[in-house]
Amino acid sequence: MIYVNNNGLLSFSQPIAEMEPLSFSSYGEDLIAPLWTDLDDFGFGIVYYQEYTSGNVLTRATEDIKSYYPGLSFNANWVFVATWDFVQIWDENGFYQHAAPIISFQVVLISDGSHSFILMNYGDISTFGREAEAGYGTIGSTHYFVIPGSNDLYHVSNLKYTSNVHVQGRWAFSANQGLVQFAETFYPVGLAAGDTQTIITDDIYLSVALSRPFVYFGRTYHLIYVNNNGLLSFSQPIPEMDPSYGGEDLIAPLWSDLDDFGLIALNYQEYTSGDVLTRATQDINQYYPGLNFNATWVFVATWDLVNTWDTNVLLHHSAPSVSVQVVLISNGSHSFILMNYGDIAPQFYSVKAGYDTVGSLRYFVIPGSNDWNLAQNLKNTSNVHVPGRWAFMAYTENVVGLQMTVTSYLDLIDAGNLAVVLEQIKHELVIRGLSSDVQLSARRVKKNP
């Protein structure tokens, strides 16, 4: 059962008559409040609701959830919509014409039977001089959230311009513990995906014994250290926050003093079968055609940070966030690295993304990643034409071969032919780690007799 209260509140165990919103962090009951306030003193209003189990509303809800939570195999089979529509007037005709200051908002509950989601939609929110709050709470306040500004009389009217899913006037929340929104490039993340997850606030590393060895540029490792500073290391944990350290086998999707940013969720998982291996196989064969590659092992580590110390804000990315992921892929002999980037909120520490090897015989720094002003754009960059993803080979192959046939010297100096040759060379370099933004040119050199 759901109680649709006239005070802008959904409750489940009982109706709730309080018109002044109580703190979600201390109320301790399951409730959903798109806008909890003393609405009936505002003027004339109507509360609408409807339950859907088929039709276009379910289709729309499915599309919305898949858009906001990519990678989730979701198909809505139940939707409940409640809408509060009030005007600051006691005239019914004035209400239907919205001929006075208005308060209009809506809550949408969406489920497929196992996963549940909440959408809060906002229209006009007139200033009304009463205490208000928007968000949700749970029994014992184990989970709760307050939409920023909703409990501020001077900013609550801005709700129709705010969002956590880049849709003005809409906030989306998962009602499933451990399900967080990530970029489409990310492999599955979080408790719902089966990850081992550790929430940290200070210097820490996780030591992960591998079920199968990982070969990194010819050296074999049975252990990976997932460091809180955005770094994977193999021979030892590396606590250094300044990414000037080098000369060792390292993989750094985003190496920086991340623990000073706020709260961090470290997630990792090792795969030896299933859909993730299928996806990894498809990705590598797309980026490195001709290898006939078949992944037998995948390791995924994800760093998810928010600029806050509130775990509920972390759960929904409702504050500036930094989300990066590294995917190690192997078939036992050939190894690859994928680095996936979501939002990169500004920071003020040294930073670097890329990889290094013993003696720095092989290393690569993603262009712009060592400058915070440019690192924020990582989710839009790539070397494999997939925004937010960089791919690298992690096995020894030093020679880039290019075979072509020319019939005469004139073929080489012809502008059209030369452009084709340069494009082929660029392609071979990019799939081995060079930035796709690189521009190649050739010049004619005369040898003096």
Give me 260's structure tokens.
């000073």
Q: Give the per-residue pLDDT at 345.
A: 83
Lowest mean pLDDT among 95-109, 308-322, 323-337, 405-419: 405-419
| pLDDT at residue 29 is higher than 70 | yes
Residue predicted with more confidence, 138 or 411:
138
Task: Name beta bridge partners: 330.
Answer: 297, 335
Mean pLDDT across the chain: 83
Structure tokens at 259: 């623990």
Tell me how far apart the alpha carbons of residues 95 and 90 are, in angstroms, rounded to a whole number.
Answer: 8
- pLDDT for the residue numbered 420: 65
Compare 15 and 257 and report the one with higher pLDDT: 15
> Which tens digits make up the pLDDT trace of 200-243?
766 778 999 999 999 999 999 999 999 988 999 999 998 777 77
- To the nearest 10°, report the CA torsion of 324, 328, 329, 334: 130
Convert the pLDDT of each residue in 136-177 to its tens digit.
988 887 778 888 888 887 788 889 998 888 899 999 988 876
- Rounded to an integer, the average pLDDT of 305-333 is 81
> When comparing pLDDT for 131 and 60, which is higher?
60
HEC readout, 357-401 = CHHHCCCEECCCCCCHHHHCCHHHCECCCCCCEEEEECCCCCCCC
Tokens of 21: 């919103």
Going through 12-92 in order, the beta strands assigned E by DSSP cover: 31-36, 44-52, 78-87
Q: What is the pTM of this model?
A: 0.61
User: Domain residues of the chain, as ranges?
Assistant: 3-174, 191-393, 399-449
Residue 399 has pLDDT above 50, yes or no: no
